[in-house]
Chain A
Amino acid sequence: MRVILTAKPRKKPLIPVEAETIIPRHFRQGRDLTVWEGNRERSLRDIFDVMVERTAAAAEEVEVILRGDVSRFKRVGEYMDAGKITIEGDIGMHCGNFMTGGTIEIHGNADGWLGREMRGGRILCHGNAGHYAGSGYRGEKFGMKGGTLEILGNAGDFAAEYLAGGEVIIHGNAGDLPGVEMVNGTLTIHGNCSRPCGNMTGGTCTVLGTVRGMLPTFRKNSTLLHGSDKIPLTVFEGDIANRGKGILQVREYSYDD
C-alpha cells in the first residue's frame, strides 16, 4: 500500500501542524485522521491531497510519502512501529519521536529533535538535521534507547544527548556538545565537533574529524587504528568528573585555553 500525501499550499504556511497521526499503521486501518494546525483540528484531506494505491495486510506493507512543503509539520512518525515514511523535502521538528520500528527516509533537511527518544527502527536523513537529533526531551534522563539514526549532512548542537542505546551516525559535522550525558549506545561523527560527551557515563563516541574544546575531564588511555582505513585515534575514558566509564575516541583534538 502506498499513501501519497501532497501538502496543499496553506494561507499561513508558518503555522505549525501537529501531525503525529501520520504513521503507516493508521493508514492501513483506514481511519479518518486529523491533524492540528495551530489550535484548529483539521481533517487530513483539508491539508493534503491524499492518494492511496492498493491495500495492505499489515502495517509493514504501508509506505507513506510526504510531498510538498511539510517543513512545519511536527511529530510525523511519532510512535511509528512498522512500515515506511518517505519525506521528499524538508520535515519539521520531532520527526520519529519514540519510534520503535520501520523506516523514515528524509530527502531534505530535518528540523530539531529528529528521532528523539527513539526506541527502534531506522531514520535516514539525506540532508542536515537540527539541534537535539537523537536526544532525550527536556528533563528526561534517557534519550534514544535503540534503533539507528543516520544523518548524511550535518547535525546541530546536542546531538545524541542522553543517548542510552542504539546508534547515531553523523556523516558531516556535529555542532556543540554532542553526546553529552551519554549513558550507552554508539555515536559516530565523521566530521568535526566541539566539546563532546560532557558528563558521559557509558557508551562509545567516535569522532573521525577534529574536536575543538576537548573537555579536560577525559583521561587519555591509548591509541588505536580505526577501520579498514586504519585511521589513528586517541582513546579517552570519561567523563571522570562524573566517574564515567564512557569511551571517547578522536582523531584530532585541541583544548580550549
Chain B
Amino acid sequence: MTELLLRNACVIDPLNRVNGDVMDIAIRDGWIVESVGNGAEVIDARGFLTLPGGIDSHTHICGTKVNFGRYMMPEDMRAGRTIRKGVMHATSGYSVPTTYGNSYRYSAMGYTSILEGAMAPLEARHTHEEFSATPLQDTMANTLFDGNWPVMEAVKEKDVKRAAAIVAWTLAAVKGFAVKLTNPGGTEAWGWGKNVTCIRDPVPHFEVTPAEIIETLIRANELLRLPHSVHLHCNNLGAPGNYQCTIGTFDLVPDLNKERQSLYATHVQFHAYGGTSWKDINSKAEPVAYSVNRKPQIVIDMGQMMFGKTTTMTADGPMEWNLYRLHHNKWSNHDVELETTSGIIPVYYSKKSLVNCVMWAIGLELALLVKDPWQCLLATDNPNGAPFVRYPEIIGLLMSKRYRDEEFRTIHPDTGKRVILDTLDRELGWHDIAVMTRAGQAKALGIAKIGKGHLGVGAEADIAVYPIRIRDTDPSRDYAAVVSAFQRTAWTIKRGRVVCRDGDVVVEGTNRTIWANSRVPEAFDMGRDPEFVKKFDRYYTVRMANYPVQDAYIPRSGCIESEAVL
C-alpha cells in the first residue's frame, strides 16, 4: 500500500463542482480516497493551482502516419533536442518528436491521458507499439471507419445494426477506443484520385453519401453503448467556404445520449472558412459557433493554429494533395486498403500570410463564441495546427484580451477586415480552462466514469499542480505568468505517483491503453458472419486470423466493456 497526501492544493475540479477551494487530496494505491494514515508521504502544494491531469482528446502522436512524418522530416529532429538525464531518454524533434519526446513534454504540461486522433485499423500494431513507448500517459486510439468497405455496404443497405456489428468487431480486433470518420467517403474516393466536396456527394462505386455514413455510424455508435461518440473530421477541410458544409453536417446530428454529445467534431478551425478562394477567405466562426450553441448534442475542439513551423498529417489524403499543390514542398500519400488514406506535408504558418492570420483568429473566435466551454475543447490537432507545446500560449490568449490585442498588432494588417476576433472582449477564466483541457475531455470521451478528468473520491489520482496562485494572478494582465505556469507543472502525478517534477520526468512510467469492447449478441459476431468473412478474405491482403492485434501489443490493457443493444 502506498499513500500520498497532497496538501494545500487550490483545486478546480469542474466535474465535482469544486472551484478554487484550498484542500487536501488523499491518495492510496493510485486512487483518490477520503483520507490516508499518518504514514503517508506528504506534498505541500503551497496553494498552487491543482487540476485533474490534462487530457488531450485529439492529437497525433503515435502510429504509421506520425512515424512517416518523422522519416520525411529529418530536419525536424534538429529541433527540440534534449540529452539523456536521469530516467529520461534523449529526445529530439519539434513537430514530430520521438515518442519519449511527446510523452515527457506532455507530462511537463500536466497531461496524463491522450487520444491518438486517427489509427488505421490495418496498421494498428504500429500505433500500439508506439503507445508502449509513450509511458507517462494513458492512451486511446480513434479508429478510422471513413472509407471502410463493409461499413459502406451496410450503410447502403441501411442496416445500422450490421454497421454497429462491424464497428464492434473491428474495435475489439484492433484495440481501438472510438469511431473516427475522417472526410467520410472522401478517403475512399481518393483511391480513385477523387474526393467528395460535401455531405451529399456520392462515394464512387458504393453510391452512399458522407451524410449517410455519418448518420448511420452515429446511430450504430449509440447502439454499441461506446464510451465516446462518433469523432468526426468533416468533409472539405481547409477549403474557403467550407463552413456551410460544416453547419450542414451539424444539422444531421440527432441527440441520442443524455450523458454526452452524439458527435465530436474535431479541429473545427479548419472547417469554419468563408469566402470563395484563398483571396477572399474570411472567418465564419460566428455561424459555426451559433450552430454549436443551439445543439447540446455537439462538442467541438478548436484545432487552433499557431504561427511557426509544423507538420500536417491526416488520414485526409485528398486534402493533403491540395495542400501539396499549394506549397510544392515535400508530400507523402498513403492508401490503406479497404479502410482509409493518409497524407503528410510540412508547413510554415506565417504572420505575413493573410490566410494564416485568418486561420489563427478563427480558432480563438470559436473558443470565445461557443458559450459553454464543455462544448469547445482546447486542441491544435497536434501537430497540424501547431505542436501541443503551444497549448499554454493558447490558454494565455483565451484568458487575456490584452495578449490577443498585442498579438493582433503583429499580424497581417488586413486581418481585421476578415475576422471579428479584435471585437471580442470575452476572457475565459480558470474554471473554463480546466473544463477545456481536462474535465470537458473526460466527459466527451466518456472516461469520467473510469475515474478520469476529476478529483473526487474514487477517481484515478492523475493530478497536475501548476506553479501559480490564482488569487494573486490577474490573467488578463499577467498572461505571461499564466503561459509559463501551464508550460511546466510543479508536480505531475500519474496514478498516485509523482512522474514529473518542475519539468523533469522522474520515473520510467507505465501507461495503460484504454480501448472499448462492446459485446454483441452472437448473431452479430462478424468473426462468424459468412458474408463478412468471405469478403475479408477476398479483398484484404492479410488473412482475417492475422488481422487482430495480439494481446502482447497491449501490455497494460484498460478495457471499457459495454453491452450492445442490437
Q: Which residue of A has the minimal Cβ distance to B329?
A: A141
A140 is an interface residue with CB less than 8 A from chain B: yes
The distance from the CB of A117 to the nearest CB of chain B, in whole angstroms, is 10
Q: Please report the C-alpha to C-alpha distance between residue A39 and residue B78 in the assembled complex, in whole angstroms.
A: 18
The distance from the CB of B74 to the nearest CB of chain A, in whole angstroms, is 4
Cβ–Cβ < 8 Å partners of B329 in chain A? 141
Number of B interface residues in the complex (CB < 8 A) = 8
Q: Please report the C-alpha to C-alpha distance between residue A139 and residue B73 in the assembled complex, in whole angstroms.
A: 6
A48 is an interface residue with CB less than 8 A from chain B: no
Cβ–Cβ < 8 Å partners of A141 in chain B? 329
The distance from the CB of A239 to the nearest CB of chain B, in whole angstroms, is 15
Cβ–Cβ < 8 Å partners of A139 in chain B? 72-76
Interface residues of B in 58-109 (CB under 8 A from A): 72-76, 78, 84
The distance from the CB of A187 to the nearest CB of chain B, in whole angstroms, is 22
Cβ–Cβ < 8 Å partners of B76 in chain A? 139
| Main SS class of interface, A | loop
- Report the contact-size class of chain A (Cβ under 8 Å from the partner): under 10
Cβ–Cβ < 8 Å partners of B73 in chain A? 139
The distance from the CB of A91 to the nearest CB of chain B, in whole angstroms, is 22
Cβ–Cβ < 8 Å partners of A137 in chain B? 74-75, 78
The distance from the CB of A136 to the nearest CB of chain B, in whole angstroms, is 9
Q: Which residue of A has the minimal Cβ distance to B73?
A: A139
Cβ–Cβ < 8 Å partners of B84 in chain A? 39
Q: Please report the C-alpha to C-alpha distance between residue A137 and residue B76 in the assembled complex, in whole angstroms.
A: 11
Q: Please report the C-alpha to C-alpha distance between residue A49 and residue B173 in the assembled complex, in whole angstroms.
A: 64
A10 is an interface residue with CB less than 8 A from chain B: no
Cβ–Cβ < 8 Å partners of A39 in chain B? 84
Q: Please report the C-alpha to C-alpha distance between residue A202 and residue B211 in the assembled complex, in whole angstroms.
A: 49
Cβ–Cβ < 8 Å partners of B75 in chain A? 137-140
Q: Please report the C-alpha to C-alpha distance between residue A139 and residue B75 in the assembled complex, in whole angstroms.
A: 5
Cβ–Cβ < 8 Å partners of A138 in chain B? 74-75
Q: Please report the C-alpha to C-alpha distance between residue A141 and residue B348 in the assembled complex, in whole angstroms.
A: 13
Q: Please report the C-alpha to C-alpha distance between residue A141 and residue B329 in the assembled complex, in whole angstroms.
A: 9
Cβ–Cβ < 8 Å partners of A140 in chain B? 75
Interface residues of B in 39-74 (CB under 8 A from A): 72-74
Interface centre among A39, A137, A139, A141 (most CB of B within 10 A): A139
Q: Please report the C-alpha to C-alpha distance between residue A43 and residue B84 in the assembled complex, in whole angstroms.
A: 19
The distance from the CB of B165 to the nearest CB of chain A, in whole angstroms, is 45
Q: Which residue of B has the minimal Cβ distance to A36?
A: B83
Q: Which residue of B has the minimal Cβ distance to A140?
A: B75
Query: Per-residue 0/1 for B9-34: is the Cβ within 8 Å of any A Cβ (1 yes, 0 no)?
Result: 00000000000000000000000000
Q: Please report the C-alpha to C-alpha distance between residue A140 and residue B73 in the assembled complex, in whole angstroms.
A: 9
Interface residues of B in 418-464 (CB under 8 A from A): none
Interface residues of A in 109-163 (CB under 8 A from B): 137-141
Q: Which residue of B has the minimal Cβ distance to A138?
A: B74
Interface residues of A in 154-191 (CB under 8 A from B): none
Q: Please report the C-alpha to C-alpha distance between residue A137 and residue B78 in the assembled complex, in whole angstroms.
A: 10
The distance from the CB of A104 to the nearest CB of chain B, in whole angstroms, is 22
Query: Per-residue 0/1 for A39-77: is the Cβ within 8 Å of any B Cβ (1 yes, 0 no)?
Result: 100000000000000000000000000000000000000
Cβ–Cβ < 8 Å partners of B74 in chain A? 137-139
Query: Per-residue 0/1 for A174-213: is the Cβ within 8 Å of any B Cβ (1 yes, 0 no)?
Result: 0000000000000000000000000000000000000000
Q: Please report the C-alpha to C-alpha distance between residue A25 and residue B278 in the assembled complex, in whole angstroms.
A: 48
The distance from the CB of A45 to the nearest CB of chain B, in whole angstroms, is 23
The distance from the CB of A64 to the nearest CB of chain B, in whole angstroms, is 26
Cβ–Cβ < 8 Å partners of B72 in chain A? 139
Cβ–Cβ < 8 Å partners of B78 in chain A? 137
The distance from the CB of A131 to the nearest CB of chain B, in whole angstroms, is 16
Q: Please report the C-alpha to C-alpha distance between residue A181 and residue B329 in the assembled complex, in whole angstroms.
A: 13
The distance from the CB of A252 to the nearest CB of chain B, in whole angstroms, is 34
The distance from the CB of A36 to the nearest CB of chain B, in whole angstroms, is 9
Known: A39-B84, A139-B76. 5 other contacts (CB 8 A): A137-B74, A137-B75, A139-B72, A139-B74, A140-B75
User: Hey, which bits of chain B sit against chain A, CB under 8 A?
Assistant: 72-76, 78, 84, 329
List 13 A-B residue pairs with CB atoms under 8 Å apart, sorted by A's residue number: A39-B84, A137-B74, A137-B75, A137-B78, A138-B74, A138-B75, A139-B72, A139-B73, A139-B74, A139-B75, A139-B76, A140-B75, A141-B329
